[in-house]
Amino acid sequence: MEPKVNYVVVGAFVVLLGALLVGVVLWLGKGFDQKTYDRYYAYMEESVTGLSVDASVKYRGVGVGRVKEIVLNPDNPQQVRLTLEIERGTPIKEDTIAILDVQGLTGLAIVDLTGGSRESPPLEAKSGESYPVIQTGPSLLVRFDQAATQLFTNLNRVTKNVDALLDETNREALSQLLKDLATLTQTLTANKQRFDEGITNAAQTMENVLKASKMLNEEMPFLIDRMHGSADSLEAMAEKVGQASTAVGSAVERTKPDVERFSQQTLSEMSALVAELRQLTSTLQRTAQQLEHQPNSLIFGRTPPPRGPGE
């Protein structure tokens, strides 16, 4: 006779076992993750293609959280708002910057946090904000695209400038310049020997200058000593001249009464003597003239003048 099976007990056991398995799975999936997370906002102005919810958030390459939500910014549709869950205790500072980064060749994007200096204060939510807002920066692809765009812009500008520079007139001027340079090169080649001689002479002159400078440095102390000696001699001469000047002044003071007496007495007598000498000279001149005309007057005396009519 076959034993009877209690299907109710079997069913209950299966349900209980299934619930237990589900609990174990949930416990294994989340039970080990007992970390506490803080939420932050990050506003991206570039495309977030390749970034998905639950994408990794790394701080200097170390995983510190995940992307919780990706939506357009309600206040600015040109921005994408990322909600980041980051482990509590991660040093998120005011100068921390969030940048999109692509992992390898898969094209999957993550959020990489950089910056965060020691002196910067911790990032906190400002008035009117639900969560603190992390600053964002351009990704490597955006920077590369901007650099390439700028490079192409500069190349285009350079091309236009070159086209404007190499017009017909400038080409003719450039051709003439090249011809002049060729002529100058030929002239320099033809006069190479002269240039070499000039350089040699210049080197010799410089060597002579150096020798003269060396000799001057050697003779300078002797010349300075001689100059000092000459200065001492000049000083002694000046002292003697001063003494002589003082002596002359004293002599003048001593002879001053004699000079005054000479001026008052002797000069008047000399004036009278000079007058008498002038008179004597005049008499002698008249006598000489008379002797010249009448030499016999020296013996017979002066001839009286002839008498007039009736005398």
Beta bridge partner(s), residue 67: 84
Is 157 contained in some domain? no
Predicted pLDDT at 154: 85
Q: How far apart are CA 69 and CA 52, in angstroms?
A: 8
Cα 65 from chain centroid?
Answer: 50
Is 289 contained in some domain? no
Q: How far apart are CA 41 and CA 48, in angstroms?
A: 15
- Please give the full DSSP string across 233-263, using - where no structure is assigned: HHHHHHHHHHHHHHHHHHHHHHHHHHHHHII
* Total domain count, the chain: 2
Beta bridge partner(s), residue 66: 56, 85
Whether residues 52 and 129 fall in one domain? yes
Contact 36/86 with Cβ under 8 angstroms?
Answer: no
Q: How far apart are CA 124 and CA 132, in angstroms?
A: 5
User: Residue 129: which domain range?
Assistant: 34-137
Is 223 contained in some domain? yes
pTM of the predicted structure, to 2 decimals: 0.42
Give all strands (DSSP E) within 104-252, no chain letters: 108-114, 133-136
Beta bridge partner(s), residue 58: 63, 112
Predicted pLDDT at 41: 93
Q: How far apart are CA 301 and CA 77, in angstroms?
A: 160
Which residue type does 216 have? L
Q: How far apart are CA 29 and CA 35, in angstroms?
A: 13
Domain end position, chosen among 242, 260, 287 = 242
Whether residues 234 and 182 fall in one domain? yes
Is 179 contained in some domain? yes
Q: How far apart are CA 69 and CA 81, in angstroms?
A: 8
Whether residues 130 and 39 fall in one domain? yes
Predicted pLDDT at 87: 92
Whether residues 41 and 115 fall in one domain? yes
Domain end position, chosen among 242, 275, 302 = 242
Is 110 contained in some domain? yes
Backbone φ, ψ for residue 134 (5° rounding): -85, 135
> Which DSSP category does 45 fall into?
S
Low-confidence ranges of the chain (pLDDT < 70): 1-6, 27-34, 104-107, 165-167, 251-252, 256, 258-267, 291-311
Is 214 contained in some domain? yes
Backbone φ, ψ for residue 112 (5° rounding): -110, 125
Quickly tell me which residue has 């002292």 as its tokens: 239
Q: How far apart are CA 48 and CA 80, in angstroms?
A: 8
Task: Count CB neighbours of 86 within 10 A.
Answer: 21
Domain end position, chosen among 242, 263, 289 = 242
| Closest to 84 (Cα-Cα) out of 63, 61, 105 | 63
Is 156 contained in some domain? no
Is 13 contained in some domain? no
Whether residues 133 and 38 fall in one domain? yes
Q: Which residues contact 64 (CB under 8 A, 6 or more apart)?
A: 57, 58, 86, 87, 90, 113
